[in-house]
């Protein structure tokens, strides 16, 4: 299958450098009209310049692609709205949004300033919220849309010194799960990419011989796929150095405790049993978990309850 973006308009945030730049270039090569967003700051989110977005847009135009540069700070709702209006004025539509802009403010949790915690949440989570909220009505109206969140192995599994970043990168998964439900009848699919690449954000941490393997270009196929018509839905797709995998959030079948066993002691005694991964389930909304518990509880109590009603 040939994945084309002819006549599609895609916004990529934080596309002045690193991964976002690689995504924007690859999308444009496939015919997308690309809004290259970047506020041009440093890795910790300080300072700003319009040069970063313009540089990637110029690269795209140099090979005959179509791009506009935008230097909105994704944390600024008004600037994000203007960016979206600018794209719609020029091209009349928004087909996909890749929420990629990000910063780091690392410190061990006991030393972390809460202002730095908030700033990281503000850029990764609220930046994704602002941009998605601005394109959402357009996608609903056109019955088509692709949203890509950017998570991280750190969000999924944690990392020393990155409590703020980990929280933000898991938060976008919660956002994705609900937007999948709300967007379903409007043809909107929402997925998340978990990238790994040597960029200015990570280069200092990656052993030199591996830097050459961990290119942003090796991650770009995942972003392009998730932004395309062929995109799946509700997928956490990890991509690093040519390796691709999926992360699932699954739940054990668990146990039901009643009477005296429904106590901290009973739970402690059953902890191994409730942790047994046999028959683990994937749920498509929070209610499915509640139904599992209540259905079992009702059966034990002899209460007439149907999970479907």
Ligand X SMILES: NC(=O)c1ccc[n+]([C@@H]2O[C@H](COP(=O)([O-])OP(=O)(O)OC[C@H]3O[C@@H](n4cnc5c(N)ncnc54)[C@H](O)[C@@H]3O)[C@@H](O)[C@H]2O)c1
Tell me which residues are annotated as active site: 165
User: Residue 260 class from Cβ within 10 Å (0-12 exposed, 13-18 middle, 19+ buried)?
Assistant: exposed
* 43/298 with CB nearer ligand X: 43
Q: Is 152 in the site for ligand X (CB under 6 A)?
A: yes
Residues binding ligand X: what is the number (CB under 6 A)? 33
Q: Is 45 in the site for ligand X (CB under 6 A)?
A: yes
**CB 266 → ligand X: shortest distance, Å?**
41
Instruction: Using alpha carbons, list the distances in angstroms from residue 84 to 10, 40, 162, 241.
Output: 10, 18, 31, 32
- How far apart are the C-alpha atoms of 165 and 125, rounded to whole Å? 10
**CB 180 → ligand X: shortest distance, Å?**
20
State which residue has the least CB distance to ligand X: 18
Among 74, 98, 188, 192, the residue binding ligand X under the rule CB under 6 A is 74
Residues 116-145 that bind ligand X (CB under 6 A): 123, 127
Residues 15-44 that bind ligand X (CB under 6 A): 16-20, 37-41, 43
Among 130, 132, 191, 199, the residue binding ligand X under the rule CB under 6 A is 199
Among 201, 241, 253, 298, the residue binding ligand X under the rule CB under 6 A is 201
- How far apart are the C-alpha atoms of 85 and 88, rounded to whole Å? 5
Instruction: Yes or no: say if 231 and 237 are a contact pair by the CB < 8 Å rule.
Output: no
**CB 48 → ligand X: shortest distance, Å?**
8
Q: Is 197 in the site for ligand X (CB under 6 A)?
A: yes
Stretch that binds ligand X, among 1-9, 67-75, 90-98, 269-277 (CB under 6 A): 67-75
> Listing from the earlier edge strand, what are the strands of the sheet with 33-37?
66-70, 33-37, 9-12, 96-98, 145-150, 188-196, 236-240, 243-247
**CB 121 → ligand X: shortest distance, Å?**
12
**CB 96 → ligand X: shortest distance, Å?**
16
Q: Is 14 in the site for ligand X (CB under 6 A)?
A: yes
- How far apart are the C-alpha atoms of 84 and 134, rounded to whole Å? 7
Q: Is 98 in the site for ligand X (CB under 6 A)?
A: no
* 9/125 with CB nearer ligand X: 125
* 73/95 with CB nearer ligand X: 73
Max distance between CA atoms of the chain, in angstroms, equals: 73
Site map (CB under 6 A) of ligand X, residues 202-231, x = contact: x-----------------------------
Among 195, 218, 222, 239, the residue binding ligand X under the rule CB under 6 A is 195
**CB 101 → ligand X: shortest distance, Å?**
3
Can you give the binding site for ligand X, defined by CB under 6 A? 13-14, 16-20, 37-41, 43, 45, 52, 73-75, 100-103, 123, 127, 150, 152, 195-197, 199-202
């Amino acid at each position: 299958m040939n994945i084309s973006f002819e006549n599609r308009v895609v916004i990529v945030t934080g596309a002045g450098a690193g991964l976002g730049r690689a995504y924007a270039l690859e999308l444009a090569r496939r015919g997308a009209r690309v809004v290259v967003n970047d506020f041009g700051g440093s890795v910790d989110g300080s300072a700003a310049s319009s040069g970063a977005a313009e540089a990637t847009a110029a690269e795209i135009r140099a090979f005959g692609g179509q791009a506009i540069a935008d230097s909105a700070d994704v944390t600024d709702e008004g600037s994000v709205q203007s960016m979206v209006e600018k794209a719609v004025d020029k091209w009349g539509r928004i087909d996909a949004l890749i929420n990629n802009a990000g910063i780091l403010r690392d410190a061990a949790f006991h030393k972390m300033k809460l202002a730095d915690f908030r700033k990281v949440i503000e850029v990764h989570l609220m930046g994704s919220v602002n941009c998605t909220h601005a394109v959402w009505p357009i996608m609903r109206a056109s019955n088509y849309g692709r949203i890509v969140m950017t998570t991280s192995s750190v969000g999924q599994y944690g990392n020393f010194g990155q409590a703020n970043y980990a929280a933000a990168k898991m938060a976008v998964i919660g956002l994705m799960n609900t937007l999948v439900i709300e967007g379903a009848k409007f043809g909107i699919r929402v997925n998340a990419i978990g990238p790994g690449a040597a960029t200015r954000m990570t280069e200092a941490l990656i052993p030199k011989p591996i830097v050459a393997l961990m290119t942003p270009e090796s991650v770009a196929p995942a972003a392009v796929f998730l932004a395309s018509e062929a995109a799946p839905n509700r997928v956490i797709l990890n991509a690093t150095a040519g390796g691709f995998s999926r992360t699932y959030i699954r739940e054990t079948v668990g146990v039901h405790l009643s009477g005296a066993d429904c106590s901290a002691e009973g739970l402690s005694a059953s902890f191994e049993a409730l942790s047994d991964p046999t028959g683990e389930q994937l749920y498509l909304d929070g209610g499915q978990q509640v139904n599992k518990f209540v259905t079992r509880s009702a059966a034990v109590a002899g209460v007439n309850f149907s999970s479907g009603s």
